[in-house]
């Protein structure tokens, strides 16, 4: 079963259970998936679905930080509950050590050195580690690896 099908099944389950918070978040995710499919006239595979889930999670994290800074705990709590639902659709993430090891291997493979090669390395890393690693961690690992760390 594809990840998209799993999300649709989870929506049906949430509807039957009358779990309105979970249902709302899943519908939001399905709307984002549908929008991408319609805009680009493509059928999304699991990698593309994970990329969209990642994007929505990043938005939630940014919103939580903004709401907490503005002392709006009620809105921050709502975003946190959506974040938990969305994170269930991500595969198991690599640890910081595994990420750094994978990045170092890619840097060595490309023969990259110095900060000028960051773009080239990030391009290769994004395609190989998409959905498997947190991109914030990946970026830090690339900087460390290119600095000779």
Q: Which of 90, 92, 96 is nearest to 138 (CA)?
A: 96
Q: Which of 30, 3, 1, 2 is nearest to 15 (CA)?
A: 30
Per-residue pLDDT tens, the chain, 149 aa: give them. Answer: 888 999 999 999 999 999 999 999 999 999 999 999 999 999 988 888 888 998 999 999 999 999 999 999 999 999 999 999 999 988 887 777 887 888 888 877 777 676 767 777 777 777 777 767 777 777 788 788 777 65
Global confidence as pTM: 0.73
Rounded distance, CA 36 to CA 48, Å? 9
**If you compute the radius of gyration of the chain from its CA atoms, what whole number of angstroms results?**
18
Give me the CATH number covering residue 133. 1.10.10.410
Domain co-membership, 62 together with 102: no
Tally of domains within the chain: 2
Domain of residue 69 covers: 3-87
CB atoms within 10 A of CB 59: 15
Domain co-membership, 82 together with 112: no
Please say which residue of 87, 118, 135 terminates a domain: 87
């Amino acid at each position: 079963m594809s990840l998209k099908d799993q999300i649709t099944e989870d929506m049906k389950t949430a509807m039957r259970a009358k779990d309105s918070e979970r249902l709302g978040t899943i519908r939001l995710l399905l709307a984002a998936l549908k929008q991408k499919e319609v805009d680009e006239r493509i059928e999304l595979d699991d990698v593309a679905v994970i990329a969209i889930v990642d994007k929505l999670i990043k938005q939630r994290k940014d919103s939580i930080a903004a709401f907490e800074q503005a002392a709006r705990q009620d809105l921050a709590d709502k975003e946190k509950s959506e974040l938990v639902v969305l994170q269930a659709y991500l595969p198991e993430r690599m640890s910081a050590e595994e990420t750094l090891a994978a990045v170092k291997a890619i840097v060595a493979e490309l023969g990259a050195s110095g900060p000028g090669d960051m773009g080239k390395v990030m391009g290769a890393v994004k395609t190989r580690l998409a959905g498997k690693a947190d991109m914030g961690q990946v970026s830090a690992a690339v900087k460390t690896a290119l600095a000779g760390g």
